[in-house]
Amino acid sequence: MNWRAQLGNRSIDRNMYDTVLAQQRGLRTAGIDLPKDSLVAADAHGGAAERPLRILFSHRTQSRDGQFVHIQELIQALRTLGNTVIVIEPRHVRSLKLGEEPRIARVIKSYIPRFIYELIELAYSIPEFFSLAKACRSHRPDILYQRANLYMLSGWLCARLFGLPYLLEVNSPLTEERASFDNLRLRGLAWRVERAAWRAADQVLPVTHVLARKIMDVGIPPDRITVVPNGVDLERFVPTASAGLRRTLSLENKLVLGFVGFVREWHHADAIIDLLAGSELPVNSHFLIVGDGPIKEALLDRARRLGVDDRLTITGIVPREDVAKYIECFDIALQPHVVAYASPLKLLEYMALARAIVAPATENIKELLGHETNALLIDADDRAALASAVTRLANDAELRKKLGAAARATILSRDLTWLRNARVVAALGQASIEGGPKRQFA
């Protein structure tokens, strides 16, 4: 099979293909495992669109969390490259605070049967479709880019009606995820709609190779799948020598174990508190949780009972623009648990800031990290392994420095940035335009 066929006959040049092969070889040489059938997103530095695109960008995200950060960062990167981005989204989402979801959504979920709520989600495709159609007539976009959501029919129907290339970003197997964690009732219907959207897309953009294989398993050909992991803004997430926030948080001369996000039971944060109460860690060790979560009070109570409450800080939700400053306070960055198909945003930010990382040895994490190469990887369900890895790093400053430097080097060498992701999207959009149907604007 020739080089163009191996990348699905996309409109890219030989240099881009060589870059993909070099990325794969370099990662494997560094000890970072990649699946044999990996679909590495092409480095689009040399393959961006020949002209700026008009991109109709649609999402249905209802809360200001990591999902919304991904959306904002990608839109900004696309605009930085000179593209025009027309955004169709729920009207209220921009007025919410970080970590907040709309009150009406909470009320509806609480008081109506679950299957009716799911039918409302499906019905939302109707006004969403008309919003997209109106934007198509007004702005005449070149492509339609949509972040996948459950029961979402609007994007691929609109793309088909107007003859637009359709790029679908997939961050999780939504039917599987909702069935596991959110009591999904109309599972058969949800799965048919999700699969139809995958099949309708000119390009499906999963965030990991693990997720890509799930999409291939339902018959989507590899040439229509491009893996685009989460990225990071290197202008904001750059290591500095500033100690200002450490002073503010009374963390000077402390060894800081850090976690960012909504802490939940499966993150095993209680195991870190137990470590603080033991004798394995240096006496100046401190646990800093940047965020909030349903087990916050339980963690504070556990720390009080063990007499280490003065060595635990839970900040609550912090402004997005301050997250990098908090991560810079960490000596050891923790990602104790992750779903098997995710591309954790916090992990890339830890890496960009050259933190020493402890993370699960799951396949999706090994797409970014290698054990003893740029992180320490553990069995996510083994609390003793978590404690052992943290203890080892806490007592080895040179290892922390080595792993942190290698983690940042991985970000730089693979250009795991939002700008690169935007270039990939633009290149795929341009390729789809060149090989796609003629536009039909009414």
- Domain that residue 251 falls in: 244-414
Do residues 302 and 401 share a domain? yes
3-state secondary structure of 352: helix
Q: What is the DSSP letter of 256?
A: E
Helical (H) or strand (E) element with 362: none
Model pLDDT, residue 96: 66
**One domain, residues 225 and 299:** no
**pLDDT tens per residue, range 188-205:** 999 999 999 999 999 999
CA distances from 308 to 220, 295, 336, 438 (A): 52, 17, 21, 66
Burial of 256 (0-12, 13-18, 19+ CB in 10 A): buried
pLDDT-derived band at 182 (thresholds 50, 70, 90) equals: confident
Q: Which residues pair with 88 in a beta bridge?
A: 58
Do 160 and 287 lie in a common domain? Answer: no
Q: Is residue 123 part of a domain?
A: yes
In-domain check, residue 126: yes
Do residue 312 and residue 265 come from a single domain?
Answer: yes
pLDDT of residue 62: 79
For the cut 80, the answer to whether the pLDDT of residue 18 exceeds it is no
CA 14, CA 36: separation in Å to the nearest integer?
21
Cα separation, 355 vs 336, in Å, equals 15
So what's the pLDDT on residue 188? 97
Mean pLDDT of 395-403: 98
9: in domain: yes
SS3 39: coil
| Residue whose C-alpha is closest to residue 395's, from 230, 300, 280, 234 | 280
Q: What is the pTM of this model?
A: 0.86
259 and 358 assigned to the same domain: yes
To the nearest whole number, what is the mean pLDDT of the chain?
87
Do residues 77 and 48 make contact, with C-beta atoms less than 8 angstroms apart?
no
- Residue 226: its pLDDT value, please? 97
In a domain, 239, yes or no: no
Judge if 225 and 170 occupy the same domain.
yes
Give me the percent of the chain exceeding a pLDDT of 90: 74
Question: At 308, which CATH number?
Answer: 3.40.50.2000
Residues 276 and 139 in one domain: no
Indicate if 162 and 250 belong to the same structural domain. no
Q: How far apart are CA 336 and CA 378, in angstroms?
A: 8
Number of domains into which the chain is organized:
2
| Span 327-385, pLDDT tens digits | 999 999 999 889 999 999 999 999 999 999 999 999 999 999 999 999 999 998 899 99
Two tokens, residue 128? 């969403």
Judge whether residue 36 has pLDDT over 50: no
Would you say residue 34 has pLDDT above 90? no
Whether the per-residue pLDDT at 7 is higher than 80: the answer is: no
Return the pLDDT at 141. Answer: 98
Q: Which two tokens stand for residue 206?
A: 């999963």
Q: Determine phi and psi for 11, rounding to 5 degrees.
A: -80, 75
To the nearest 10 degrees (0 to 180), the angle between helices 114-123 and 125-139 is: 20
From its phi and psi, is residue 356 left (phi > 0), alpha (psi between -120 and 50) or beta? beta
393 shares its domain with 429: no
Q: What percent of the chain has pLDDT over 70?
A: 84
Statement to judge: residues 282 and 371 lie in one domain = yes
The CB-side HSE value for 257 (13 A sphere, CA atoms) comes to 30
Residue 42 pLDDT class (50, 70, 90 cuts):
very low
Quote the CA–CA distance of 20 and 402 in Å, as a whole number: 26
What does the pLDDT look like over 74-112, one tens digit per residue?
Answer: 999 999 999 999 999 988 776 666 666 666 666 777 788
pLDDT at 111: 81
pLDDT of residue 102: 65
Weakest mean pLDDT among 17-26, 208-217, 389-398: 17-26
Same domain as 423, residue 397: no
Q: Looking at the structure, do residues 42 and 28 belong to the same domain, yes or no?
A: yes
How does pLDDT run across 275-293, given as a tens digit for each residue? 999 999 999 999 999 999 9
